[in-house]
Amino acid sequence: MLRVAVPNKGALSEAASSMLGEAGYRQRRDPRELVLVDPENEIEFFFLRPRDIAVYVGSGTLDVGITGRDLFLDAQVKAAELMQLGFGASTFRFAGPVGDFSTLEQLEGKRLATSYEGLLNDYLSERGITAAVVRLDGAVESSVRLGVADAIADVVETGNTLRAAGMEIFGEPILQSEAVLIGRAGVEAPAGLDVLLRRLQGVLVARQYVMMDYDVRKDLIDAAAALTPGLESPTVSPLRDSDWVAVRSMVKRNQTNRIMDELYELGARAILVSTIHACRI
């Protein structure tokens, strides 16, 4: 059985579980369940803290796991990013009291609070900056006001937490993070991993694309196909009226309305959009 680590709570937990559900795997009914076996799919899910998932995968105890790129890099384990999962996006950044800092160089000799000590130390040493890193478990934004640090390095999503603490970001982003699937580096792929990857890829595509159908005059098919090239090539079917054809093509979800407008301008009619429930590309 493939052994997969999944976040048990926190920012990534719900989205990870619903992605696995969409990929056709059994889901836990009770959030206190720690292990879930899905014998039909020959897979076993272990619900763990996202921060610990890299440790289990890095040590080879579990085959693959879903965690944040920031947490994975912070753990400094021997594993590799296998797939980006398209949720849990955040930026890891420096922040300080409003007006105090504007450049990275000003951090020299200062005290920096963070929950991501490994990630921050790597970043500072790559840039030759020496600062005292204060490792905190959470609520890092309070550390400056409470006097244990001069600035922080933390996860920023909306920036609301920072603003509420009277702080602002400065410097370039340290890291763009999102949820990723990680696996062991330099070993033979475990049985069943290829199926998991294809299924997750299928969910990503089904979320990113819609199916577009329309009718267009035969002499306009090249112009229409240029607007909707699909992944390989659009499907073109005959209609009873031999001057017209029906076209079917996958289209990026976020471009749906622009493409519908352009197809209509071109002369296409009966333009229909439907969601893709599942797919294998």
Ligand X SMILES: O=P(O)(O)OC[C@H]1O[C@H](OP(=O)(O)OP(=O)(O)O)[C@H](O)[C@@H]1O
Ligand Y SMILES: Nc1ncnc2c1ncn2[C@@H]1O[C@H](COP(=O)(O)OP(=O)(O)OP(=O)(O)O)[C@@H](O)[C@H]1O
Q: Which residues bind ligand Y (CB under 6 A)?
A: 10-12, 50-51, 68, 70-71, 88, 90, 138, 155, 157, 177
- Tokens standing for 260? 């519908």
160 or 257: whose CB is closer to ligand X? 160
Q: Is 214 helix (H, G, I), strand (E, B) or coil?
A: strand
| Distance (Å, whole) CA 246 – CA 35 | 49
Residue 154, strand partner residues: 93
Of 83, 85, 12, 2, nearest in space to 38 by CA: 2
33 or 157: whose CB is closer to ligand X? 157
Q: Over the Cα atoms of the chain, what is R_g?
A: 24
155 or 210: whose CB is closer to ligand Y? 155
Determine if 191 is a binding residue for ligand X (CB under 6 A): no
19 or 210: whose CB is closer to ligand Y? 19
Determine if 160 is a binding residue for ligand X (CB under 6 A): yes
Determine if 91 is a binding residue for ligand X (CB under 6 A): no
Determine if 139 is a binding residue for ligand X (CB under 6 A): yes
**Amino acid, single-letter form, for residue 142:** S
Determine if 159 is a binding residue for ligand X (CB under 6 A): yes
Q: Tell me the closest approach of the beta carbon of residue 221 to ligand Y, in angstroms.
A: 44
Residue 262, strand partner residues: none
Q: Tell me the closest approach of the beta carbon of residue 10 to ligand Y, in angstroms.
A: 2
Contact 19, 200 (CB under 8 A): yes
Determine if 89 is a binding residue for ligand X (CB under 6 A): no
Q: Is 181 exposed, middle or buried (0-12, 13-18, 19+ CB in 10 A)?
A: buried
Q: Is 260 helix (H, G, I), strand (E, B) or coil?
A: helix
Determine if 257 is a binding residue for ligand X (CB under 6 A): no
154, interface contact from ligand Y, ligand X, none, CB < 5-8 Å by kind? ligand X
Listed ranges 33-41, 63-71, 138-146, 180-188: which one lies at the site for ligand X (CB under 6 A): 138-146
Contacts (Cβ under 8 Å, ≥6 apart) of 16: 6, 7, 66, 85, 87, 179
Alpha helices of 152-192 — where are they, by DSSP H?
A: 160-164
Determine if 74 is a binding residue for ligand X (CB under 6 A): no
Contact 73, 119 (CB under 8 A): yes
Of 241, 239, 253, 247, nearest in space to 222 by CA: 247
Determine if 167 is a binding residue for ligand X (CB under 6 A): no
80 or 134: whose CB is closer to ligand X? 134
50 or 202: whose CB is closer to ligand Y? 50
50, interface contact from ligand Y, ligand X, none, CB < 5-8 Å by kind? ligand Y
160, interface contact from ligand X, ligand Y, none, CB < 5-8 Å by kind? ligand X
139 or 231: whose CB is closer to ligand X? 139
Where do contacts with ligand X occur on this chain (CB under 6 A)?
Answer: 138-141, 154-161
